[in-house]
Structure 1
Amino acid sequence: MPQDPVTEPGVSRPAVTPLDIIRVLVLLAALATLALWGFATWPLPWSIVVGIGAPVIVLVLWALVLSSKPVLRLHPFLRALVELLIYVGVTLAWWSMGSAWIGIAFAVVAVAAGVIAGRRALS
């Protein structure tokens, strides 16, 4: 009878919390928003560059600084600043597309998740 893969000896997997899922959804929403903003609001040659480039820049920043195993270990306040800059950019993208309420809703959810995760990381 094969062993259950969840209980392999010597393997420790971090528990996935609802907060982790919310943060992944916030990141996916940010990437989708920036792609939509780039493709919808810029003229044709730039729409391809911005529609692909903006989400890629955010994804690289997230991987370098904000991921669970970041490449660059920054002070927690600098991490929070990078995260807030990403959220501000996404919120401004929604505002520039004429959907201020969606931008505000995104900002509230993203900042709340970031604050809770930041407090958890500091404790």
Structure 2
Amino acid sequence: MNDATPEPTPKVGVNDLLRFLLEIFAIVTLGIFGFAAFPLPWPGVLLGIGLPLLAILLWGLFRSPKAVFDVDPFVKALVEIAVFSTAAIAWWIMGQPVVAVVFAVVAAVSGVINGRREFRD
């Protein structure tokens, strides 16, 4: 018989879903930026593939729920700010300031909500 107690399933809220969508949007944005803002084939292909991979690597190492390194919440916030602000700046450079500002505001509000929850727990 299995005497182990089951682990509680984590609650996934609306902000968690929003944060996931923001992450995906940021990664796709960095890919679009690499291919669209730089001459092809080089450095466009390198940056179009490399920038999203770098963002995924940083997120997986420091920010994801199952991050490789268990770091201070401030380090997590810095990684999040770096990835999301880079995506917002990319939209600005590509001539889409409305997308940049909306993304930055939504990401900032979601980050503040999540940060308050992390410090509470």
TM-score by length of 2: 0.90
Correspondence 1:19-30 to 2 at 5 A: 19-30=15-26
What CA deviation, in whole Å up to 9, does each residue of 1:31-64 have, x standing for no partner?
1111110111111121111001000100111111
Q: 1:76 aligns with which of 69, 73, 76?
A: 73
User: 2:119: which partner in 1?
Assistant: 122
Gaps of 5+ in 1: 1-8
CA RMSD of aligned residues (A): 1.2
Correspondence 1:10-21 to 2 at 5 A: 10-21=6-17
TM-score by length of 1: 0.88
| Aligned-residue identity in percent | 39
What is the one-letter code of the residue matched to 1:33?
A: T
C-alpha distance in structure 1 between counterparts of 2:51 and 2:79, whole Å: 15
Correspondence 1:30-41 to 2 at 5 A: 30-41=26-37
1:81 deviation in Å?
1.3
User: 2:106: which partner in 1?
Assistant: 109
Gaps of 5+ in 2: none
1:10 deviation in Å?
2.4
The answer as to 2:35 corresponding to 1:55 is no
1:11 deviation in Å?
4.9
What CA deviation, in whole Å up to 9, does each residue of 1:53-92 have, x standing for no partner?
0001001111111101211121111211111111111111
